């Protein structure tokens, strides 16, 4: 680790949209077509400098776009190979937990301490971590006005982080990935971790998957973390058993087992498949997102669909097998650049998604979203079609559109009129699909936000 007083590390990781493969991606028999997004979670790591003779063991994490969004942690080496364990410190009279930040710190600092232990005088020094989210991760407050998301890169929101309305772009996975990448890059020399190398990305992927899975209660397929690390790809999930033997952070044996998991040793060998060359967009076609400011409880919806699958395994398998074929057909249409076939391929996928929703009793493509998607496709030139991505519900819709100014203007005009006529709040987000995953950034890009 550099001893320079100007040692600052900045990284970012993209959000995601699961264009096809919602629910199916939970099972290794099936795949998901996932695109990274231009909206990124950014993390800047820097040392905390103290007066001579003053020593701190503290990690300060702050998200200055939101009210009361600072978390302070002490840390210590847990007994019996428990790794580095953080303890949240009270700020004033309050203590508000942030499980994604806390879990990521436990996992990343433990791994850093393990792989850096042979380095002379290695220690985890105090640090300040600043989190900045591109605006499209959160719905703009009513009355913010058209173009509010693009007025400044990082808006200040008049609410706490918990009170903000997410747009469903994968903020937690991007946060865990960017925070892990910032910590690894900040504390470890390049010979032990290089974010730009294939090996470095694999270490980051495995560590972020383990931390994110633990933070959200061992639920999920990990496609969102894979997108945050690698960008757009055709994704097949890892076997859940890889993480099954990992103790809780701080528990006896956690540090050794975490290192084995991150390095894929022995029975912890990873079988994730991330096929970047299987995914592309035709020239002149873009993925765009519309925010529908309602929000959905994804975990509850997933549990209901899986309960239906357990009750009716034969019917579910038949539907999922057919849906997998239609998802693969959509991926081929995109990869081959056949824009004339896009509308039919998207409609074929949506047909079975609605059937799954009707059979399971889960609003995967709610009637209001069906109406909006159908109207956009039929009435706006340049819109090939769209889907309610991922687990579905009321969060957002994804569109495949002509990538030109005229089409963008027509969509904005349409959704503004739609919102007024329906009494809803639908807005075109500035975010677009992109291929790149996690990357280093220039610290100067965050001037004014970082102390």
pTM for the whole thing? Answer: 0.92
- CATH domain 281-434 topology: Alpha-Beta Plaits (3.30.70)
pLDDT in tens, 167-226: 889 999 999 999 999 999 999 999 999 999 999 999 999 999 999 999 998 778 999 999
The answer to whether 373 and 385 are in contact (CB under 8 A) is yes
The confidence score (pLDDT) of residue 116 equals 83
pLDDT band at 121 (very low <50, low <70, confident <90, very high): very low
Bigger pLDDT: 300 vs 443: 443
Q: Which part of the chain is CATH 3.30.230.10? A: 8-277+437-445
User: Which tokens belong to 311?
Assistant: 């009750």
Q: Which part of the chain is CATH 3.30.70.890? A: 281-434
Radius of gyration of the chain (CA): 22
The answer to whether 104 and 214 are in contact (CB under 8 A) is no
Element (H, E) at 344: helix 342-360
If we measure between CA atoms, which residue out of 273, 272, 214, 200 comes closest to residue 243? 214
- CATH domain 8-277+437-445 topology: Ribosomal Protein S5; domain 2 (3.30.230)
Q: Distance between CA 416 and CA 427 in Å, rounded? A: 7
């Amino acid at each position: 680790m550099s001893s320079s007083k100007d040692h600052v590390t900045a990284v970012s990781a993209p959000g995601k949209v699961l264009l096809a493969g919602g629910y199916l991606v939970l099972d290794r028999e099936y795949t998901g077509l996932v695109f990274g997004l231009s909206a990124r979670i950014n993390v800047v790591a820097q040392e905390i400098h103290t007066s001579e003779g003053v020593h701190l063991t503290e990690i300060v994490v702050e998200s200055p776009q939101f009210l009361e969004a600072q978390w302070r942690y002490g840390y210590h080496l847990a007994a019996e190979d428990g790794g580095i364990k953080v303890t949240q410190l009270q700020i004033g009279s309050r203590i508000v937990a942030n499980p994604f930040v806390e879990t990521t710190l436990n996992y990343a600092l433990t791994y850093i301490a393990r792989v850096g232990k042979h380095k002379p005088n290695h220690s985890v020094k105090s640090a300040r971590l600043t989190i900045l989210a591109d605006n499209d991760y959160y719905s703009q407050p009513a009355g913010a006005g058209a173009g509010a998301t693009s007025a400044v890169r990082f808006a200040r929101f008049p609410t706490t982080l918990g009170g903000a309305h997410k747009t469903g772009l994968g903020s937690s996975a991007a946060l865990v990935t960017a925070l892990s990448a910032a910590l690894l890059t900040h504390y470890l020399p390049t010979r032990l971790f290089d974010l730009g190398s294939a090996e470095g990305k694999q270490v980051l992927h495995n560590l972020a998957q383990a931390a994110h899975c633990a933070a959200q209660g061992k639920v999920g397929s990990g496609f969102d973390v894979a997108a945050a690390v690698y960008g757009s790809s055709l994704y097949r999930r890892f076997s859940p058993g890889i993480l099954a033997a990992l103790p809780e952070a701080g528990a006896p044996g956690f540090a050794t087992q975490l290192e084995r998991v991150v390095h894929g040793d022995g029975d912890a060998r990873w079988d994730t498949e991330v096929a970047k060359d299987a995914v592309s967009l035709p020239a002149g076609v873009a993925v765009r997102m519309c925010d529908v400011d309602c929000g959905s409880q994804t975990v509850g919806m997933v549990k209901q669909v899986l309960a239906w699958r357990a009750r009716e395994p034969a019917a579910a398998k038949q539907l999922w097998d057919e849906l997998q074929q239609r998802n693969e057909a959509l991926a081929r249409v995109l990869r081959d650049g056949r824009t004339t076939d896009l509308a039919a391929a998207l409609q074929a996928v949506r047909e079975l998604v609605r059937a799954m929703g009707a059979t399971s009793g889960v609003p995967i493509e709610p009637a209001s979203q069906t109406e909006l998607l159908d109207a956009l496709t039929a009435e706006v030139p340049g819109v090939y079609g769209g889907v309610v991505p991922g687990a579905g519900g009321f969060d957002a819709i994804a569109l495949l559109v002509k990538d030109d100014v005229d089409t963008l203007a027509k969509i904005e005009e349409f959704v503004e009129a739609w919102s007024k006529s329906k009494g809803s709040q639908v807005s075109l987000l500035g975010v677009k699909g992109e291929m790149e995953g996690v990357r280093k950034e220039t610290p100067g890009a965050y001037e004014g936000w970082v102390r």
